[in-house]
């Protein structure tokens, strides 16, 4: 191989490669950390756009055995904002900045912005190990139009390939059962005292502590049965 050829190849490697990106994107929070039984876990819906946007429609799917939907909250004012949790394991969201016969509300400006968040509760059942469960954009083949799209200021729809969709998910940590005070050491006298103070109303539990309190593994957290079982384990040790 000649010196000239080597020089051309070296130059090619030195030039950075720029991959084409979509003009618009919708993304969900990824690997949101949560504990079994935790409520109101938020997955944010984020928009990136090269132009202003007047609304959006999304259809999300999730595992209903692990996540129980609560509601969807917008972070901006939309004159139309609606969501539907049917069928099971899906949520459809529709939002418009402006609707006819109402005071004009301008579209959202270009750039990166959070449109809203999806609130879910985590199952309290023992999953045996850490579990990451996805929340993804769904395209229903029975729908005669795209289920995930943005609305341009002229009311036209922006969809693929100009719209990129990035899924998210929730990482559910396996509890350290018996570690009520969350110090890394389960089934101690300190855990029993901490638990007793909670039952007496003198102590609050974090989501992690509450998950750790289900020492009977029955899915009912921080119960009297859990406390009795904890004390029994401690005294046996």
- CA–CA separation, 142 and 145 (whole Å): 9
pLDDT at 21 (0 to 100): 63
| pLDDT for position 237 | 67
The structural domains of the chain, with segments of one domain joined by +, span 24-172, 189-236
Three-state DSSP at 165 gives strand
Torsion sign over Cα 83, 165, 118, 55: negative
Q: Which fold has domain 24-172?
A: Immunoglobulin-like (2.60.40)
pTM score, whole prediction: 0.87
Q: With a cut of 70, which residues of the chain have pLDDT below it?
A: 1-21, 237
Distance CA 93, CA 71 (A): 10
The string of pLDDT tens digits covering residues 133-177 is 999 999 999 999 999 999 999 999 999 899 999 999 999 999 999
The helix (run of H) or strand (run of E) holding residue 6 is helix 3-14
Give me 140's structure tokens. Answer: 């229903």
Strand, coil or helix: what is 230?
Answer: helix
Provide φ and ψ at 230, rounded to 5°: -60, -50
| Residues 6+ away with beta carbon under 8 Å from 3 | none
């Amino acid at each position: 191989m000649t010196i000239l050829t080597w020089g051309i190849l070296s130059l090619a490697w030195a030039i950075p490669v720029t991959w084409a990106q979509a003009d618009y994107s919708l993304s969900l929070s990824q690997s949101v950390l949560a504990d079994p039984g935790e409520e109101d876990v938020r997955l944010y819906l984020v928009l990136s756009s090269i132009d202003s946007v007047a609304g959006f429609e999304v259809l999300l799917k999730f595992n209903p055995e692990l996540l129980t939907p609560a509601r969807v909250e917008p972070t901006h004012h939309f004159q139309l904002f609606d969501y539907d949790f049917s069928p099971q394991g899906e949520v459809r969201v529709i939002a418009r900045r402006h609707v006819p016969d109402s005071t004009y509300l301008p579209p959202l400006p270009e750039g990166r912005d959070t449109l809203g968040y999806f609130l879910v509760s985590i199952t309290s059942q023992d999953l045996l190990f850490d579990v990451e469960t996805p929340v993804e954009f769904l395209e229903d083949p029975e729908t005669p139009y795209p289920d995930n799209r943005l609305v341009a200021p002229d009311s036209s729809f922006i969809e693929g390939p100009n719209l990129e969709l990035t899924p998210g998910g929730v990482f559910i940590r396996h509890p350290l059962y018996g570690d009520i005070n969350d110090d890394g050491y389960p089934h101690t006298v300190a855990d029993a005292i901490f638990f007793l103070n909670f039952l007496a109303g003198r102590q609050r539990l974090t989501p992690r502590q509450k998950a750790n309190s289900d020492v009977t593994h029955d899915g009912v957290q921080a119960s009297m049965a859990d406390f009795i079982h904890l004390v029994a384990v401690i005294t046996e040790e």
